[in-house]
Every structure is written in structure tokens, then in C-alpha cells.
Chain A
Amino acid sequence: DAEITQSPRHKITETGRQVTLACHQTWNHNNMFWYRQDLGHGLRLIHYSYGVQDTNKGEVSDGYSVSRSNTEDLPLTLESAASSQTSVYFCASSSLWETGELFFGEGSRLTVL
């Protein structure tokens, strides 16, 4: 079965360190998204990609970057982690040709101390 997997599922890091969260999907979807979920804010879009070599900034992109070198992966990098980036991060994907329905990974809980 097709799926979308995130790793690590839990990570604790220190302020100022670089952190990369991995996202891998086997749906063969063109569209991939990174969201963060915080109490009181719902889901907020960080970065998204419509295909290989395409990346775009979302609503809360400061301090984050992504790259898309193949269809399956969209890693999210925090260049210099800050305590404000403590959150649950969700990767999602959708097909370019269908309904726009998003399929989510299991989430990565990041704590920045």
C-alpha cells in the first residue's frame, strides 16, 4: 500500500542546532507539503512543492528550508533551531490531477531546548 512516512517521530535538540525532518511518500504524488501544528493555531503551511526542483514558501517559512530532488522526498531543514519551533510537524502529499485531498504522515514531534 502507498504511504507517507516521516522520521524521526520524536526529536529533542538544542537551540542553534541544524535539524532535518525527513518525509518520504510512495503515492507518486506531485504535490508535497510541510505543516506545523500548534495549540491555538491549527495547521500552518511552512513550505510546499508541486514537483521535482520546485519549492515554495508558505505562511510560516522563516527559519525553514526544503529541497525536492526527486518525487518521493521533501526533507524539511531548520537551519538554526529556536524554541519557537517546538511543534508537531506534518508532511502531506496530494495528486496534481485529482481532488486535492491531502494524505498525511504520522507527524514528527520536535522539542527545541
Chain B
Amino acid sequence: ELKVEQNPLFLSMQEGKNYTIYCNYSTTSDRLYWYRQDPGKSLESLFVLLSNGAVKQEGRLMASLDTKARLSTLHITAAVHDLSATYFCAVDEDSNYQLIWGAGTKLIIKP
């Protein structure tokens, strides 16, 4: 059974700092997704990573995938308050479109 673990689950940081959220999964997969959720809102797709070594960047966020290590990272550069949200990773184990979700990382960025 596929398990997806995120860490940390909670992160409070200062503006301007860099940090990384980790997403580990337990079986082989080359389809990994990152989503953002603001409080009381829906989930917004951030990145789709579909192969080993994939790296995608959007603004201050960069995601990467290492399928051999079964690890994806979401790196935040020079954090700003607007990036405060909960970030989820999700994995499609069998390419059957059924995603298994991590528990989410609640990120608070203080001015």
C-alpha cells in the first residue's frame, strides 16, 4: 500500500528565509503533484512532476522529483507572507489517476 509522508507538517518561518518541504513515498512512482490550499479554500495545482530528475520552478517555489530515492522536495526561496498556506504532495502509484495524498504542510511566514 502506497504511503505518502510529508515533513515537516508545520513550519513557521520568517520572511526572506529559505526552506524545503519533503515528500517521501513508499512505492515506485513517476507521477507526483504539488498543490496549495489557502484556509477555507480549494486546492490549486502548483507543479506536475512526471519523470525522474524533473525540476519545475514558479516564482519563489521550486519542486523536484527523485524517483529512485522516492522523494520530492518543494523549495521556498526568500519566503514572503503571501506564500503562507498548506502545501500538499500527492502521488499516482499506478498511473491510474487515483492520487494518494500526504497530510499537508502548514506553512506560516511571518513578516
Contacts and interface: CB of A to CB of B under 8 A. Distances in A.
Interface in A96-113: 96, 99-107
Nearest to A91: B42
Given A31-B97, A43-B88, A94-B97, A101 B45 contact: yes
Contacts, number: 53
B36 to A, nearest CB: 11
Interface stretch (B11-19, B70-78, B99-107): B99-107
A58 interface: yes
A42 B42 contact: no
8 contacts: A42-B103, A45-B98, A48-B98, A90-B43, A100-B48, A101-B33, A102-B35, A102-B45
A100 B99 CA distance: 9
Interface string A33-60: 1000000111111001010000000100
A50 B98 CA distance: 10
B48 A99 contact: yes
Interface in B15-50: 31, 33, 35, 41-45, 48, 50
Interface string B75-106: 00000000000001010100101110111100
Interface residues of B, number: 21
Contacts of B33: 100-102
Interface of A: 31, 33, 40-45, 48, 50, 58, 90, 92, 94, 96, 99-107
A104 B48 contact: no
A100 B42 contact: no
A96 B96 CA distance: 9
A100 B102 contact: no
Contact of B102 (A42, A48, A58, A102): A42
B101 A107 contact: no
B42 A104 contact: yes
Contacts of A43: 43, 88, 90, 101
